[in-house]
Amino acid sequence: MSLTIGELSRQAQVKIPTIRYYEQIGLLAEPVRTEGQQRRYWPEDVRRLNFIRHARELGFEVEAIRQLLGLASHPDRSCGEAHEITKAHLTEVNDKIARLTALRDELQNMVACDNGKVAKCRIIEVLADHDKCLHETH
Amino acid sequence: MSLTIGELSRQAQVKIPTIRYYEQIGLLAEPVRTEGQQRRYWPEDVRRLNFIRHARELGFEVEAIRQLLGLASHPDRSCGEAHEITKAHLTEVNDKIARLTALRDELQNMVACDNGKVAKCRIIEVLADHDKCLHETH
DNA sequence: CTTGAACCTATAGCCGCTAGAGGATGTAGC
DNA sequence: GCTACATCCTCTAGCGGCTATAGGTTCAAG
């Protein structure tokens, strides 16, 4: 019927100390306890913890997750707020992709220069002065 | 001629305590000091600190940055030795790009839900049940 | 020579976990 | 019922990578 913290951990792919940490900071409600003070969870908690894990993996901060969870518990309210949180995040991610792609190109150049000297490799300059070096040829 | 820590901070867009922290953990060399023990920097340091900032923004850990910086300070060494290190970083960067791209697609799906109610809003669903919602159309 | 911004060190705190010690609980097999 | 042992409990301390504060010193312009 109910789940131990270990079972919850396995099902939601979240480590046990992390579950207790989430309880501590109020992301997870305090669960029922056995006589001997062991935590017992319900399938509902698996869903909530999955939600939290996914949001964390997507780079949402705990505070943002708290907000999103708040929205989820008021399903009649507009999702404009959730929309804003997500949009801000999207912009950030797109920016990172662009810069990582530029970096990858430079690393590929570097790896391609097999028997040369580091002095000829431009990785340092590229990262030190990203905008200037970005579009130069190797 | 030389720069104060404040000027370095402004030019490299890195906060002053962070600069001192980087010195402490050995990412930045100890700079020259005035009689009164104040740090004085050179344009070279702006470049190095820019490098560090960009690498951090791209998600490299301090230890990886240490290695990359190591390559730059042995310009007489063959690329062959450094080749493996660089290739490892390239792999890492490619992984990051892949994961961020997947993330972006998902965020774009989420943002597509504009003025609905939370009940209809995919943000909550997607996060609550990642695998199910990932490839559905909006 | 004074003033005030900028600097110094040292320490403590932040987030988001993660690990360990030392002990209590729960369950399966006898 | 009893034992064995995996799993659980709390508490504390540590991690990376900063960031903020307190309390004092230096530097440069006027």
| CATH number of residue A28's parent domain | 1.10.1660.10
Count Cβ neighbours within 10 Å for each residue of A52-91 and write b for 16 or more, e otherwise. Answer: bbbbbebebeeebbebbbebbeeeebebebbbebbeebbe
B91 touches chain A (CB under 8 A): no
- DSSP annotation of B118 reads G
- Distance, angstroms, CA B4 to C1' C9? 17
A88 with A48, same domain?
Answer: no
Distance from CA of B31 to the nearest CA of A (A): 19
> With 50 as the cut, is the pLDDT of residue A135 above it?
no
Q: What is the pLDDT of residue B2?
A: 94
* pLDDT at residue B111, rounded to an integer: 67
Does B69 share its domain with B121?
no
Residues A45 and A91 in one domain: no
Q: SS3 letters for A102-120?
A: HHHHHHHHHHHCCCCEHHH
pLDDT of residue B69: 81
* Residue B70 binned pLDDT confidence (cut-offs 50, 70, 90): confident
C1' of C28 to CA of A40 (Å):
20
A109 and A132 together in one domain: yes
Domain identity same for B1 and B68: yes
- What is the structure's pLDDT at A30? 96
Cβ atoms of A5 and A45 closer than 8 Å: no
Sign of CA dihedral A56, A62, A64, A65: positive
- Per-residue model confidence (pLDDT) at position B128: 61
> Do B11 and B55 belong to one domain?
yes
Bases on strand C under 7 Å from any protein CB:
6-10, 15-20, 24-26
- Find the CB nearest A71 among B93, B110, B118: B118
Place of tokens 């740090």: B39
In this complex, is the C-beta atom of A88 within 8 Å of any C-beta atom belonging to chain B? no
- Check residue B64 and give its pLDDT: 83
Task: Give the pLDDT confidence score for residue A22 in this predicted structure.
Answer: 97
- E-only strand ranges, B37-136: 39-40
DSSP symbols for A20-69: HHHHHTTSSPPPEE-TT--EEB-HHHHHHHHHHHHHHHTT--HHHHHHHH
Which residues are paired to B3 by β-bridges? Answer: B41
Closest listed residue to residue A134, CA positions, set A94, A93, A106: A106
CA B130 to chain centre: 27
Closest CA to the C1' of D7: that residue is A6
Mind listing the pLDDT tens digit for each residue in B76-89?
554 455 566 677 77
- Confidence (pLDDT) at B36: 96
Q: Is nucleic acid strand D under 7 Å from A4's C-beta?
A: yes
Does the pLDDT at position B127 exceed 90? Answer: no
Which of the four pLDDT bands, split at 50, 70 and 90, describes residue A138? Answer: very low
Please give the average per-residue pLDDT across B1-13, as a whole number: 95
Between chain A and chain B, the number of residue pairs with CB atoms below 8 A apart is: 157
How many domains, chain A?
2
Q: How does residue B134 score in pLDDT terms, banded at 50, 70 and 90?
A: very low
Q: How far apart are CA A23 and CA A42, in angstroms?
A: 15
Give me the domain span that covers residue B23. Answer: 1-76
Q: What pLDDT score does B129 carry?
A: 59
Closest to B79 (Cβ–Cβ): which among A93, A97, A114?
A114
Q: Clarify whether residues B56 and B7 are in a common domain.
A: yes
CA A129/CA B12 separation, integer angstroms: 10
pLDDT tens, position by position, B12-51: 999 999 999 999 999 999 999 999 999 999 999 998 999 8
pLDDT tens sequence across A83-133 = 777 777 778 778 778 877 877 777 777 666 555 554 455 555 555 554 443
**Which residues of chain A neighbour B93 with C-beta distances below 8 Å?**
100, 103-104, 107
Q: Taking Cα atoms as reference points, which of A134, A102, A104 lies closest to residue B90?
A: A104
Quick one: B114 and B55 in the same domain? no
pLDDT of residue A48: 92
Same domain (yes/no): B35, B99: no
- Rounded to whole angstroms, the distance from the CA of residue B39 to the C1' of nucleotide D28 is 16
Q: B50 touching A, CB under 8 A?
A: yes
pLDDT tens digits for A12-58? 999 999 999 999 999 999 999 999 999 999 999 999 999 899 888 77
Residues A73 and A41 in one domain: yes
Residue B88, number of CB atoms within 10 A of its CB: 13
For residue B74, pLDDT beyond 60? yes
Same domain as A88, residue A28 = no
Question: What CA–CA distance (Å, rounded) separates A8 from A45?
Answer: 8
B121 SS3 class: coil
Residue A76 has pLDDT above 90, yes or no: no
Instruction: Assess A118–B contact: CB distance below 8 Å, yes or no.
Output: yes
Two tokens, residue A73? 């518990």
Domain end point (choices B45, B76, B107) = B76
Is residue A88 domain-shared with residue A133, that is, in the same domain?
yes
